[in-house]
């Protein structure tokens, strides 16, 4: 993937680490001046470690016993520190380094001795590549902010549930899906329904919670995807080839608003077919949304693509119905 992006992102990681460790030293100063007992515990820890290294030098055959002893002593001091912090109204981990990613501790890499890119780094690279760093959007639209009250309690055709109940049940079903992820039986999900029924919102919920589980996600609109495929096809630069490879390799590909893209030629539709087909064969996850009904989709994308999309063995089709909640807003 693009080396320039990688360098930029690793620089961001460096800055984050530096900011976090600065924040930690400020928290230490604050606590040490307010709670001298904790300052003393820290001095004791430093003293213990120093003593321990002296002992280890004098007694090189006994280092593992020394390490065990030291770990026990440090753990006891830490427990004491945590108790004091809580008694004084601080969170127990107030004097710990705070990491944005607990897996790689904000270094971007995991594994020893062979280093691998952490999924948070891979995700950042994808976001840069696709200019989809709309993380703010995911902060606003996720399962925690899902609000059933935005949906009216009007009856739906062919359902015993009203719109609000239907959407609440759908949310729970998708939460189960995320729990099971990536071992789901059906790995393609198609949201179909008119405008303003909460399709994009739910796609964002899925994106956020699957990313939080440590998987990579590309979110794109069909419009941008087709644009990218089209310009990729006419340029064939190494960059566009790498971007295209991501579309096959990412854990979840989300294509919003299928049907709104400009059709430049059949070539891009063929590309779409290849991506979906290949992802289905690899048992990868692809989530799509569309305003088009099934018969319109068939017309627009040919039977071959449509039958891939609607193949019951691999695809969960979810129909959105009811009143446009944008109008209500
Ligand atoms: N569960 C929800 N809780 C709170 N707000 C929601 C919820 N679902 C949707 N909304 C809000 O309602 C509006 C319409 O929802 P959304 O964009 O998801 O509709 P859509 O079905 O994707 O429409 P379109 O087909 O036009 O793209 C948005 O502003 C969205 O933030
Ligand atoms: Mg939408």
Per-residue model confidence as pLDDT tens digits over 19-51: 999 999 999 999 999 999 999 999 999 998 888
* CA distances to 47, 90, 94, 194 from 77, in Å: 12, 17, 15, 61
The answer on 165 and 66 residing in a single domain is no
With contact defined as beta carbons under 8 Å apart, do 97 and 20 qualify? yes
Q: Is the peptide bond before 182 cis (omega within 30 degrees of 0)?
A: yes
pLDDT recorded at residue 30: 96
The answer on 280 and 238 residing in a single domain is yes
Pocket test for ligand 1, best of 136, 147, 197, 198 (most atoms within 8 A of CB): 198
Last residue of a domain, one of 61, 80, 110: 110
Does any ligand 1 atom lie closer than 6 A to the CB of residue 146?
A: yes
Pairwise CA distance, residues 124 & 6, whole Å: 9
Q: Which tens digit of pLDDT belongs to each residue from 235-285?
A: 666 667 777 788 898 899 999 999 888 776 666 788 888 888 899 999 999
**pLDDT (mean) for 157-178:** 96
Ligand that comes closest to the CA of residue 326 = 1
CB neighbours of 240 closer than 8 A, spacing ≥ 6? Answer: 228, 231, 232
Pairwise CA distance, residues 317 & 118, whole Å: 33
Mean of all residue pLDDT scores within the chain = 88
Q: Is the peptide bond before 23 cis (omega within 30 degrees of 0)?
A: no
- 116 in a domain, yes or no? no
The answer on 238 and 310 residing in a single domain is yes
With contact defined as beta carbons under 8 Å apart, do 253 and 203 qualify? no
Count up the domains in the chain and report the number: 2
Distance 7 CA to ligand 1 centre (A): 36
- 115 in a domain, yes or no? no
Q: Is the pLDDT of residue 102 over 90?
A: no
The answer on 13 and 143 residing in a single domain is no
Q: What is the CATH number of the domain that holds 223?
A: 3.40.50.300
pLDDT recorded at residue 226: 85
CB neighbours of 130 closer than 8 A, spacing ≥ 6? Answer: 218, 219, 220, 224, 243, 246
pLDDT > 70 fraction of the chain, expressed in percent and rounded = 93
Full domain range(s) for residue 43: 3-110
Instruction: Name the phi and psi angles at 92, rounded to 5.
Output: -60, -30
- 270 in a domain, yes or no? yes
* Assigned token pair, 98: 């705070």
Q: Which tens digit of pLDDT belongs to each residue from 214-235?
A: 788 888 888 888 887 777 766 6
**pLDDT (mean) for 97-112:** 90
Pairwise CA distance, residues 189 & 285, whole Å: 8
The answer on 307 and 272 residing in a single domain is yes
The answer on 196 and 106 residing in a single domain is no
- 124 in a domain, yes or no? no
- 285 in a domain, yes or no? yes
Q: Is the pLDDT of residue 1 over 60?
A: no
Does any ligand 1 atom lie closer than 6 A to the CB of residue 157?
A: no
With contact defined as beta carbons under 8 Å apart, do 185 and 218 qualify? no
Radius of gyration of the chain (CA): 26
- 117 in a domain, yes or no? no
- 72 in a domain, yes or no? yes
The answer on 137 and 49 residing in a single domain is no
Pairwise CA distance, residues 119 & 101, whole Å: 10
The answer on 68 and 156 residing in a single domain is no
Q: Which tens digit of pLDDT belongs to each residue from 59-78?
A: 877 778 888 888 899 999 99
Question: Which range scores top for mean pLDDT: 101-105, 171-175, 206-210, 291-295?
Answer: 171-175
The answer on 300 and 250 residing in a single domain is yes
The answer on 314 and 208 residing in a single domain is yes
The answer on 87 and 32 residing in a single domain is yes
Q: Is 47 helix (H, G, I), strand (E, B) or coil?
A: helix
- Which amino acid residue places its CA nearest to atom 25 of ligand 1? 195
Residue 133: pLDDT band by 50, 70, 90 thresholds?
very low
Burial of 19 per CB tally in 10 Å (0-12, 13-18, 19+):
exposed
- 48 in a domain, yes or no? yes
Q: Is the pLDDT of residue 312 over 50?
A: yes
With contact defined as beta carbons under 8 Å apart, do 207 and 217 qualify? yes
With contact defined as beta carbons under 8 Å apart, do 188 and 280 qualify? yes
Does any ligand 1 atom lie closer than 6 A to the CB of residue 328?
A: no
The answer on 292 and 146 residing in a single domain is yes
């Amino acid at each position: 993937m693009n080396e320039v992006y990688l360098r930029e992102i690793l620089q961001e990681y460096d800055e984050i680490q530096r900011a976090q460790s600065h924040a930690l030293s400020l928290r230490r100063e604050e606590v040490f001046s307010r709670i001298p007992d904790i300052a003393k515990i820290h001095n004791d820890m430093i003293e213990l470690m120093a003593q321990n290294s002296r002992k280890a030098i004098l007694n090189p055959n006994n280092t593992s016993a020394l390490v065990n002893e030291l770990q026990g002593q440090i753990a006891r001091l830490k427990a004491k520190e945590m108790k004091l912090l809580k008694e004084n109204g601080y969170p127990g981990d107030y004097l710990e380094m705070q990491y944005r990613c607990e897996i790689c501790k904000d270094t971007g890499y995991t594994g020893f001795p062979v280093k691998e890119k952490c999924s948070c780094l891979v995700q950042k690279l994808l976001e840069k590549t696709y200019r989809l760093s709309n993380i703010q959007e995911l902060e606003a639209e996720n399962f925690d902010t899902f609000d059933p009250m935005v949906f009216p309690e009007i009856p739906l055709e062919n359902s015993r549930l009203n719109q609000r109940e239907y959407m609440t049940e759908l949310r729970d079903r998708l939460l189960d899906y995320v729990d099971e992820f990536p071992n789901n039986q059906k790995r393609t999900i198609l949201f179909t329904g008119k405008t303003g029924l909460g399709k994009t919102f739910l796609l964002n919920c899925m994106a956020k919670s699957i990313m939080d589980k440590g998987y990579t996600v590309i979110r794109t609109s069909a419009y941008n995807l087709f644009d990218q495929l089209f310009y990729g096809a006419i340029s064939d630069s190494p960059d566009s080839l790498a971007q295209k490879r991501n579309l096959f390799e990412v854990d979840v590909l989300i294509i919003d608003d299928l049907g709104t893209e400009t059709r430049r030629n059949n070539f891009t539709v063929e590309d779409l077919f290849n991506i979906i087909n290949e992802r289905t064969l690899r048992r990868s996850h692809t989530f799509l949304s569309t305003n088009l009904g099934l018969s319109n989709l068939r017309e627009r994308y040919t039977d071959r693509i449509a039958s891939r999309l609607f193949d019951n063995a691999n695809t969960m089709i979810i129909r959105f119905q009811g009143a446009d909640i944008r109008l209500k807003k």
